[in-house]
Structure 1
Amino acid sequence: MTDDKILDLYWGRDETAITESDKQYGKYCYSIAYRILSSHEDSEECINETWLNAWHAIPPQRPGKLSLFLGRITRNLSFDKFRANRTAKRGGGEIVLILDELNECVPSANSTEQVILNQELGKTINRFLQTLPDRECSVFLARYWYSYPLRAISAQFCMTENNVKASLFRSRKKLKTYLEKEDITL
């Protein structure tokens, strides 16, 4: 079924929209959740919450790209679940390392002002990504959007792990410079 037909089902408040979303994007969303959470049960829970959140968000929103919309919901829910697990002393692994790597160039979201600016920050980062060469952008997204481990990225892009680390380091440095030029307080 096409994205437009699935979206029409959501707009018509037809519950088969959830079934069709799961058929079309369930594996995709599960892979996002599992890479962040490393838990089958938690990933399944996030997928179910994804469909519920999509049900509540459509309408009024009508996403241009349903896969990205659902992927973003899954990713955000997965990070929320990860933080909850970590607070409960059950988290760890690759995500902690990824967040630490980004921490040096992305401002903290602890203040109320920063929470308000998060949407603008996201737009700024998207503009930054458009300035990167395709391969560098893909490596950056593989690590910081899809949460791939370094070994998987090096295999996917036929690079050594050291080259991946160097590329990510340079990209983070460029991001920091870009954010400073955009007057984003670090």
Structure 2
Amino acid sequence: MKQKNFLKELRNHNPKALDYVFDTYGNLIFKVAYSVLNSRELSEECVNDSLLKIWNNIDSFKNDDNKFKGWIIILTKYTAIDMIRKESKHSNVTNLDFYNNEDIRFEDGLMQKETKEEILKEISKFDKDNKEIFIKRFFLDYSIKDISKSTGISENAISNRLRRCKLKLIESLKEEVL
């Protein structure tokens, strides 16, 4: 399989073309998945899901092979995010550690009534950068130091953003309950 014709062969559902994609882009797909999921096991599952999506959706890719790598990165990133959403629907919010923070006191029983899905709905209202920081910290268990390295934002700024996001989340959840 040559780079020139692999897209044509992939559109014709030639399994060798998918092997070529895996051999050429497999490490990239894994790294993108791991950067979102921070779990080897979930990242491996995401690689498989991404390859299946590439196979099933190759006809929606209308660009030339120069843009294929970018398409794979985006597809993998959103596949990983979908996995987080799927996992969060099956988990109760009491597994989150952010409500134990000394600076913030939740009203008794408030968080027990909320589901992760409702929290994710509120988090989705955050701006892109804060949403990414919040999810990495509280859903993917990144350290503040790791978040700082991956975003290029100082640790102090990360801590401040997280504090503001938690306060905003608490207020919006209180409003929903009342």
- Scaled by the length of structure 1, what TM-score is found? 0.52
Give yes or no for the alignment of 1:74 onto 2:76.
yes
Give yes or no for the alignment of 1:83 onto 2:85.
yes
Residue aligning to 1:45: 45
Structure 2 gap segments, 5+ residues each = 98-119, 162-178
Give yes or no for the alignment of 1:55 onto 2:55.
yes
Residue-by-residue CA offset, 1:18-64 (whole Å, 9 max, x unaligned): 11111121111112222322332222122111111111212253344
SS of the aligned residue for 2:5 comes to: helix
Residue aligning to 2:127: 105
Q: 1:156 to 1:76 in 2, by over 3 A?
A: closer
Structure 1 gap segments, 5+ residues each = 107-139, 168-186
Q: 1:154 to 1:36 in 2, by over 3 A?
A: closer
What is the deviation of 1:81? 1.2
- Scaled by the length of structure 2, what TM-score is found? 0.53
The aligned amino acid for 1:19 is D
Identity of aligned residues (%): 21
What is the deviation of 1:82? 0.9
SS of the aligned residue for 1:76 comes to: helix
In the TM superposition, 1:24-35 aligns within 5 A as: 24-35=24-35
Q: 1:17 to 1:99 in 2, by over 3 A?
A: farther
Distance 2:51 2:42 in 1: 15
In the TM superposition, 1:79-158 aligns within 5 A as: 79-89=81-91, 103-105=125-127, 151-152=145-146, 154-155=148-149
Q: 1:101 to 1:87 in 2, by over 3 A?
A: closer
CA contact (8 A) 1:86 1:92 kept: no
Aligned length: 134
Distance 1:36 1:158 in 2: 16
Root mean square deviation, CA, Å: 4.3
What is the deviation of 1:4? 4.1
SS of the aligned residue for 2:81 comes to: helix
Residue-by-residue CA offset, 1:67-119 (whole Å, 9 max, x unaligned): 121112211111111111112228868xxxx997763337xxxxxxxxxxxxx
The aligned amino acid for 2:72 is L
Distance 1:50 1:19 in 2: 13
Larger radius of gyration: 2
What is the deviation of 1:5? 3.4
What is the deviation of 1:14? 1.5
Distance 1:63 1:14 in 2: 19
| Structure 1, 17-26 or 32-41: larger mean CA deviation | 32-41
Distance 1:48 1:5 in 2: 23
